[in-house]
Structure 1
Amino acid sequence: MITPYTLRLLAYAVVIVGLIKIIIARLQSPLAKLPGPKYTSFTSLVLKYKELTHGRRVYVHDLHQKYGPVVRLSPNEVSYATVDAAKEIYLSGGSGYDKTPFYTLFTQFGTRTLFSTLPRADHSYMKRYLADRYANTNIMKPEVLNGISNHAKDFLNKCMEKCSSPDGFADVYVHLHCFALDGVTHHLFHPYGTHANVNDKDLRLMQELSYHDSLASNYIIYYVPALTKLVAYLSPPKLSPLSNEYVLKTSAAKDPSAHSLLSKLQSHAKATPSMPPYGVPAECKDHLAAGVDTTGDTLCFLMYQLSLPTPASTRVQSLLHQELVQNPTVPFDQLPYLDAVVKEGLRCFPPIPMSLPRFVPDGGSTIEGYWVPGGTIVSCQAWTLHKDPNVFPQPLEFIPERWLDEDKEAVTERNRWSFAFSVGGRGCLGRHLAIAEMKTLLREVYSQCRTTLSPHMTGDMQMEDQIIATRPKDQTCKLVFEKIGQTWALQ
C-alpha cells in the first residue's frame, strides 16, 4: 500500500526530474553558447522585470556594453548590435523575418493593421496600397507641406503667446504633441484634421493620446493572457473615447483630399469586399497613434538639447539660425546643417529606440557567426546601434557636424547604421512625413527665435520607456522663446 508519505516523495521526485530535464535542455540549447549572463540560459524573468519597470532599453544596452554585439536575453531571445545583423533580421528574403505576437498589442478596434500584421507576405500586400501616400513625392506636394507649415506657425504663435504671459515660458512638450497631432491628421484626414494648438477640444484629444501609461498592464496581458480580466480591473487599459469617436466619425467622412491616406483607404475598401469591417478606421487610428508621440517626443528631446545652457548647444543654435536666415527660399531638404541637426537628433533620440522583435524562420539562421534555431526571438535596438563608438565617435555627445564630415566613407557608414526608423520593407512607413514635420518646425522656430531653458524647468527629461517608444519622464519641457534679428553672432 502506498502511503501519503510515499506519494509526497514521488511528487518531489517528479518535480526534481522535471527541473533537471529543463536545465539539461537549456544547457544543451544552441543559445547556451551565446554570450550573456548565466541566468539568461534558464529564465526570462529578469528581462520581463526590466520591461515592466521601464528598463528594458537600458538593460539590453548595458548587456551589449559588457558582452559585445551578440547577447542572449532569455532562453529563447537574442539581441544584436551590428548593422550586418540588422540587415539579416530586417532585410533578408525581402522584408526580413516575420514579426512576433508582441505586435498584437498594437491592433486597433480588434483589427490587425499594417503595423500589427505578423507574416511579411500579408504585410507586403497591405503596404502596396498605402505606400504611395507616404512616398516622398507625395509628402513634398505643396498641399501637404503648406499644411505642415501652417501648423508649425500655430505652434510658434502659441509658444510666443505663452512666453508673453506672466509665467514667461512655453511647455513645448504639450505644444509639440499638438503640432504632431495636427500634422498627422492633416496627412490622414484633410480637410478634417485637428488644430490642437488653437482649439481646446483638439487639445484634449492630444492629451488623451499622450498622457497615459499602460506599459505594465500591456506586458502582463501579453505574457499572461489569463490575467487579462484581473489586470483590466486593477489597472484599466488605456481608454481613448475622444480619439475613437474622432477616427470612427472622420473615417466615414466624404470627399477627403486626394493626397490623404483616408482617400486611398476608402477607395481600397470599395474595391475590396473582403476588407475587415473596421479596416479603414483601424488603419487610421494606428497611424494617428504612431504619428503623435514619436514625432512629438523626438522634437521635444531635440529642442531641449538645443536649449541647454552650454557653449555646444548655443553654438549649434547659432549655426542653425545662420543657415536658415541666409537661405529663406531654399527647400528644407537642401539645407545641410538643418539636415545634420535632424539626423543627430534622430541618432540621439530615436522615435523607436527599443528592440523590434522578429522570429527566426524555420530551419534556423546564422547571425553574427552564431547559429540560432527557428522560432528564436531576435532583434536590434536603435538605442544601442546608434552608440557604437567605432561608427559614432563620442557617441554620447550631440555633434551634428559628424554628418558633415569630410570623410565621406565615414558618413556613408553612419547612414548605414542609422536605425531610427528601422530598415527594410517593414521600416517606418511615415519616415518622410516625420522628417518633413521636424525640419519645417525647426525652420519656423530657429529662423526667428532663440530658445533657452526656463528657470521654472525642473522636470526630469530622462527617457522613460513605453512599449517600444520612449518619452520624457515628467512629460514637461519649459522653454523661453526670444525673437531675434536676422543675424546672430556666433557665441
Structure 2
Amino acid sequence: MAVIWQTNTVSVFALAKAYFVPILLTLYVLSIFYNRFRPGVSKIPGPRLAKWTKLWRLHDVYKGQAHQTAIKLHKKYGPLVRIAPNVVSVGDPKAVKIIYGLTGGFTKSAFYPLQSISWQKKPQMNLFSTRDPMYHREQKKKVAGAFSMTSLLECEAAVDSCTKLFLSRLDQLASSAPRKSIDLGAWLQYYAFDVVGEVTFAQKLGFLETGGDVDDMMKTIEGILAYASLCGQVPEMHPLLLGNPLFPILYPAMESWNAVLTFTLKAINARTSIKRDGELELNDGATTKDMLSRWAAVKSKDPEKLTTRDIIVHTSTNVFAGSDTTAIALRACIYFLIKHPEKMQKVMNEIDTADKEGKLSNPISFKESTTHLPYMGAVLKEAMRLHPSVGLLMERHVPAGGAEICGQLIPEGTIVGINPWVLQHDPCVYPDPESFIPERWLEASPDKLAEMEASFISFGAGSRTCVGKNISLMEMHKMVPQLLREYTIELAEPKKEWTTKNHWFVQQNGLDCILTKRTKA
C-alpha cells in the first residue's frame, strides 16, 4: 500500500508540475470571465474594457484627467457607470444620503489606507484613511472641537499675520519688477501651508518667508498623492510595494522619507513640555490656541484620552491635507474671476463699497467677509463647485444585504461612490454647469438652493465630511477679498488656459499673473 501511495503522490505532483502553467492560465481566464459577468453589476453600462479588468481604470487615472472622463461617461451612460469589474460610479444626487449617510453602513474602500503615515514601523490610520467607523468616531470626538469655527477664530490673529506676510512678499515681487509675471498659484499654496502651521503649531512653516518648498514637503505630498491615486486602483498591490510590512524592518530610515512626518515631529518636539500640574507649558512661554497646544494640554491631563500617537497623526494630517485642498480652491476663485472680468468687477465693487462704508478691517475678518460680502461668498462657492479639489471617486463598500441605488439592487461588497466633478456638473441641478455663474447661489429659490446644496460635496458628505472644512472656509473668506482689495490681477498670457492634473486632488498649473497695486480713491 505504501508503494502505491507513493507512486500516486509522485504522479499527482508530476501532473501538477507538467500542467502548472495551463492550470494557472485557465484560472486567470475564469477570473476574467467572472469579472465581466459578475452577478448584480454585469448589466450596468460602461466602457467595454472596464467590465473585464481594472487596467482600464488604472490607465484612465494615470492620464491625469479622470474627472473629465467621469463627466463624459455619465453623460453617455446615465447615473450608473461601471468603471471596473467591481466598481460602480454613481451620478445621482439622491444617492448621496444612501452612500454617505450616517446610518447607511457603507464603509471606505482599500483606496484610503494608502494615505496614512508610517510611524514606529507600522501604518498609523488617521481620520481620513481609516476604514473603521468606530475608530473614526472615537478619534473625531477627541479632536473635533479644535476644528470648530469658534475655536479656529480664536487663531484669527495668527492667520492675519500670514496674510500680512503674504501681501508684503507680493509687494516686494510686484515693486521690484513691475509687469513681471508672478506664479500666484504657488504663492497661494505657500500661504495655505503657513496658515496650517499657525493653526496647528502656532508657527509658520516657512513657505512665505523662503518663497519656496520647505524641506521638500510639497514634493513629498505630490509623490504620496500620485502613488495613492494609482495604487489605489489596484490596492492589492500595496502590500507588495510601499505597504510591504518588511520595509520598515529592513529600512528603518524609511519613515524619514516622509518630509511631512519629519517636520511634524520637529515642530512638536520644539514647542511642547508638560508641567507637573498637568498644564501645557510652551517653550516660548506664550499662551496660544493652536491645535498642538490644545491637544498637548488634554494629553497631560488624561494620557489615555489623547496619546502621543494621536497628536502626531492628527497634526501631520493637517500639514498633509490642509494646504493642497485650500490652495486649489483659492486658485480656482482667482482664475475664474480673471477669466470673467464682469464678475471680477462686481466683486471689487462690493469690496470697495463695504470698505468706504467702514465695514471692513485691515486685514478683513471672517465675520466681516461673510456678513458684508455676500457676492464674494457666492464666488467662492461657485469656484469650488466648478473646480472641486477631489477628482476621483469617493469610494465606499456596499454593506451586507446590498443596497438599492438609482432603482437597481447593487450587491454587497461592490465598490460604489460619487465623483464630486460629476455631481457638481449635473445640468439638471446646475443649469449651464460649465459656466461660472456665482449669481446662481444668490438668486435661486429656497427649493432650488436646497437642491444645489445637496449636490455640493466639495468637502465630502455625511460623517466623513472633511474635518478641516472650516480652516479652508476661513482662509478663503479672508484671503480672496483682501487680495482683491490690494491688487488688480491679470493673467500674464490672457489667452492661455491653465492646465490641470488629477492625482486624487485636481491640481492646477499656469496661474502666472501680473499684479498691480491698487490706489484708494
CA-CA distance at 1:216 after TM superposition:
5.0
CA-CA distance at 1:364 after TM superposition:
1.4
CA-CA distance at 1:20 after TM superposition:
4.5
Unaligned runs of 5+ residues in structure 1 are none
Structure 1 CA distance for aligned equivalents of residues 308 and 136 of structure 2? 18
Q: Could you say which residue in structure 1 is the equivalent of 2:502?
A: 465
Residues 151 and 6 of structure 1, relative CA distance in 2, 3 Å threshold: closer
Q: Is 1:176–2:188 an aligned residue pair? A: yes
CA-CA distance at 1:433 after TM superposition:
1.4
- Residues 306, 317 of structure 1: 8 Å contact kept: yes
Q: Is 1:284–2:315 an aligned residue pair? A: yes
Q: Could you say which residue in structure 2 is the equivalent of 1:140?
A: 153
Unaligned runs of 5+ residues in structure 2 are 1-10, 248-253, 273-280, 361-367
SS at match of 2:417: strand
CA-CA distance at 1:479 after TM superposition:
0.9
- Residues 350, 420 of structure 1: 8 Å contact kept: yes
Q: Is 1:30–2:40 an aligned residue pair? A: yes
Q: Could you say which residue in structure 2 is the equivalent of 1:273?
A: 304
Q: Is 1:151–2:187 an aligned residue pair? A: no
SS at match of 2:41: helix
Q: Is 1:366–2:393 an aligned residue pair? A: no
CA-CA distance at 1:220 after TM superposition:
3.7
Q: Could you say which residue in structure 1 is the equivalent of 2:4?
A: none
- Residues 459, 477 of structure 1: 8 Å contact kept: no
Q: Could you say which residue in structure 1 is the equivalent of 2:84?
A: 74
TM-score computed with the length of structure 2 as normaliser: 0.81
- Residues 97, 120 of structure 1: 8 Å contact kept: no
Structure 2 CA distance for aligned equivalents of residues 106 and 230 of structure 1? 11
Q: Is 1:103–2:112 an aligned residue pair? A: yes
Q: What is the total number of aligned residue pairs between the two structures?
A: 469
Q: Could you say which residue in structure 1 is the equivalent of 2:365?
A: none
CA-CA distance at 1:379 after TM superposition:
0.7
Q: Could you say which residue in structure 1 is the equivalent of 2:364?
A: none
- Residues 463, 471 of structure 1: 8 Å contact kept: yes
Structure 2 CA distance for aligned equivalents of residues 39 and 406 of structure 1? 41
Q: Is 1:342–2:380 an aligned residue pair? A: yes
- Residues 364, 372 of structure 1: 8 Å contact kept: yes
Structure 1 CA distance for aligned equivalents of residues 137 and 403 of structure 2? 22
- Residues 149, 441 of structure 1: 8 Å contact kept: no
Residues 203 and 241 of structure 1, relative CA distance in 2, 3 Å threshold: farther
Structure 2 CA distance for aligned equivalents of residues 406 and 273 of structure 1? 49
Higher Rg of the two aligned structures = 2
Structure 2 CA distance for aligned equivalents of residues 19 and 443 of structure 1? 59
Q: Could you say which residue in structure 2 is the equivalent of 1:244?
A: 261
Q: Which runs of 4+ in 1 moved over 6 A?
A: 4-11, 229-232, 457-460
Q: Which amino acid aligns with 1:396?
A: E
Structure 1 CA distance for aligned equivalents of residues 243 and 158 of structure 2? 44
Structure 1 CA distance for aligned equivalents of residues 169 and 342 of structure 2? 26
CA-CA distance at 1:51 after TM superposition:
2.0
Structure 1 CA distance for aligned equivalents of residues 441 and 500 of structure 2? 24
Q: Could you say which residue in structure 2 is the equivalent of 1:326?
A: 353
- Residues 35, 51 of structure 2: 8 Å contact kept: no
User: Identity of aligned pairs, percent?
Assistant: 24
CA-CA distance at 1:19 after TM superposition:
2.9
- Residues 160, 170 of structure 1: 8 Å contact kept: no
CA-CA distance at 1:412 after TM superposition:
2.1
Q: Could you say which residue in structure 1 is the equivalent of 2:7?
A: none
TM-score computed with the length of structure 1 as normaliser: 0.86
Within 5 Å, give how 1:414-453 maps onto structure 2. Answer: 414-453=452-491
Q: Which amino acid aligns with 2:313?
A: A
Tell me which moved more, 274-283 or 374-383: 274-283
Q: Is 1:316–2:327 an aligned residue pair? A: no
Q: Could you say which residue in structure 2 is the equivalent of 1:228?
A: 241
Q: Which amino acid aligns with 1:135?
A: S
Residues 18 and 162 of structure 1, relative CA distance in 2, 3 Å threshold: closer
Q: Could you say which residue in structure 2 is the equivalent of 1:54?
A: 64
SS at match of 1:389: coil
User: Quick one: which of 307, 312, 318 aligns to 2:338?
Assistant: 307
Structure 1 CA distance for aligned equivalents of residues 480 and 17 of structure 2? 73
Summarize deviations over 1:202-253 as a string: whole Å, max 9, x none: 8432753257445554434844135427999xxxx99756543331022232
Q: Could you say which residue in structure 2 is the equivalent of 1:403?
A: 441
- Residues 205, 243 of structure 1: 8 Å contact kept: no
Summarize deviations over 1:260-309 as a string: whole Å, max 9, x none: 2212322343424386653312221111111111111221232122223x
Cα RMSD between the aligned structures?
3.1
